[in-house]
Structure formats: structure tokens, C-alpha cells
């Protein structure tokens, strides 16, 4: 990993046997290691925002903890600020929501679904979509929020 060769020191008149031999340098060159780490850092910085799949919504902030993640990717239903309902990333009319959810529920092992709703969406619309999820066969509904919001005692968790 970058070991070099250094001439052996000596400066007397007498020559010993092997005076012209060299010994290995005991210093490690870390420049290639740093270069590789910087390239990996850049790759992860570029790839990390791409891992978030879904529709951009302004989620409300709460002090709730994260849910456990299962092997199967949970179904995500999103309500945008304009009131549009989307299953994963596909826009769905409200009238077609229950039949599509029933078809999806019949093909899945898990009944877990994540509901993402923009903070500006009326509570009534969120409850209507939750009722449609329940009618579609999904009884394990997790509401998705951002962390760092206020708690009930008025403090803000970080």
C-alpha cells in the first residue's frame, strides 16, 4: 500500500557486507485511501436524495417515534396539498381508491400502509382516506410525519 525504498544510512570508510542494500520504508501512504473515501462520500451524497420515493409533501412535525420496518415494502398513500390522492406515485381518483386498494390488498401479505398527508390538507380529507384504506382491506395504518416537532408539554424534541 505505498511502501517505498530508502537508502541505508552510513557514511564510514569501511564497507560492510550488504552496504548497498536497501531497507523498506515504514511509512504508509494514505493518499489513495483518502481519494477512495472522498469518491465514496460523493457517491452517497448524490444517491441519498434519490432513495426517497414519493410525492413531495410538507409533512407535519411531531415527537412520535419511528415505526418498525418489515421485509415487504409497505404501501404508501399520499395526499398532496391540492387534495390529490396517490398510491405510491400513481395518481388515483377518490372514487377508484377503494377498488384499487382491495386489488392491492389481495396481492400483498402485509396489511401495513403508510399514509402521508401534507400539513395543509383538511383533517376531514385525511379521515376519509383512512376510511377508504380500512374499507380496502388495510387495517394497519401508520401516519407519516417529520421528526423534531413540538411535544404536548410545549418543548421541541431534536
The 10s digit of each residue's pLDDT in 11-43 is: 555 555 555 677 777 788 888 889 999 999 999
User: Of 77 and 48, which is predicted with more confidence?
Assistant: 77
Q: What is the pLDDT of residue 16?
A: 57
Asked if residue 151 is part of any domain, the answer here is no
Q: What is the pLDDT of residue 6?
A: 55
Asked if residue 152 is part of any domain, the answer here is no
Asked if residue 117 is part of any domain, the answer here is yes
Residue 136 CB coordination number (10 Å): 23
pTM of the predicted protein model: 0.53
Q: What is the DSSP string of 54-87?
A: S----PPEE-PPPPPP-SSPPEEEEE-TT--EEE
Asked if residue 115 is part of any domain, the answer here is yes
**Percent of the chain residues topping a pLDDT of 70:** 72
How far, in Å, CA of 61 to CA of 144, rounded?
Answer: 9
Asked if residue 136 is part of any domain, the answer here is yes
How far, in Å, CA of 110 to CA of 6, rounded?
Answer: 65
Instruction: Provide the residue range defining the domain that includes 100.
Output: 75-144
For the ranges 61-65, 66-70, 73-77, 99-103, the maximum mean pLDDT occurs at: 99-103
Least Cα distance to 84 among 33, 29, 129 occurs for 129
Asked if residue 55 is part of any domain, the answer here is no
Least Cα distance to 143 among 121, 106, 155 occurs for 121
CATH code of the domain containing 93: 3.30.420.270
Asked if residue 45 is part of any domain, the answer here is no
Asked if residue 96 is part of any domain, the answer here is yes
Scanning the structure block, which residue is given the C-alpha cell 398532496? 80
The 10s digit of each residue's pLDDT in 110-125 is: 888 889 888 888 889 9
Tally of domains in the chain: 1
Amino acid at each position: 500500500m505505498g511502501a517505498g525504498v530508502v537508502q541505508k544510512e552510513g557514511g564510514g570508510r569501511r564497507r560492510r557486507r550488504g552496504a548497498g542494500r536497501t531497507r523498506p520504508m515504514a511509512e504508509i501512504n494514505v493518499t489513495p485511501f483518502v481519494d477512495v473515501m472522498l469518491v465514496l462520500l460523493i457517491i452517497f451524497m448524490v444517491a441519498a436524495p434519490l432513495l426517497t420515493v414519493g410525492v413531495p409533501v410538507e409533512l407535519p412535525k411531531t415527537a412520535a417515534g419511528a415505526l418498525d420496518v418489515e421485509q415487504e415494502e409497505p404501501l404508501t398513500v399520499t395526499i398532496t396539498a391540492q387534495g390529490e390522492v396517490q398510491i405510491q406515485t400513481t395518481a388515483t381518483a377518490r372514487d377508484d381508491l377503494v377498488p384499487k386498494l382491495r386489488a392491492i390488498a389481495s396481492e400483498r401479505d402485509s396489511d401495513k400502509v403508510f399514509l402521508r398527508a401534507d400539513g395543509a390538507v383538511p383533517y376531514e380529507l385525511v379521515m376519509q382516506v383512512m376510511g377508504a384504506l380500512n374499507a380496502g382491506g388495510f387495517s394497519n395504518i401508520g401516519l407519516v410525519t417529520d421528526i423534531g416537532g413540538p411535544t404536548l408539554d410545549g418543548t421541541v424534541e431534536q
